[in-house]
């Protein structure tokens, strides 16, 4: 029996967000090519149908931009939480380190 690996909640969430970011282009392709398979013969539908499909593509485009922004923002938030505090900063009130030449 395979042993299950325990992941912290933050690590698990970050992995799922990365998976979502990888699948967004696939979702875009599926939604973009869906009308090709759905509409069939466009000669019978007339010109009004074309404007409806253009609106559909525009809504998909804007929706993918918004979804990408949300996923990107969530990934940046989890990356910031994972980063350790900067140890290069000096506590307030302490003097900066002196160069070796001045220490003698």
CA dist 57 and 61 (Å) reads: 6
pLDDT digits (tens, 9 = 90+) for 16-46: 889 999 999 999 999 998 877 776 655 555 5
pLDDT in tens, the chain (104 residues): 566 676 677 788 888 889 999 999 999 999 998 877 776 655 555 566 778 888 989 999 999 999 999 999 988 887 776 665 555 555 565 666 666 665 55
CA dist 42 and 98 (Å) reads: 77
CA dist 48 and 46 (Å) reads: 6
Kindly report the pTM of this predicted structure: 0.61
CA angle 74, 56, 71 (to 5 degrees): 5
- Residue pointed to by tokens 């392709």: 29
């Amino acid at each position: 029996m395979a042993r299950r690996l325990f992941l912290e909640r933050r690590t698990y969430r970050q992995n799922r967000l990365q998976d979502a970011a990888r699948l967004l282009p696939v979702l875009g392709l599926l939604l973009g090519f869906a009308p090709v398979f759905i509409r069939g013969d466009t000669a019978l539908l007339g010109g009004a149908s074309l404007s409806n499909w253009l609106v559909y593509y525009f809504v998909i485009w804007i929706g993918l931009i918004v979804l990408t922004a949300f996923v990107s923002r969530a990934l940046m938030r989890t990356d910031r939480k994972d980063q350790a505090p900067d140890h290069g900063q000096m506590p307030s009130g302490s003097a900066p380190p002196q160069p070796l030449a001045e220490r003698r």
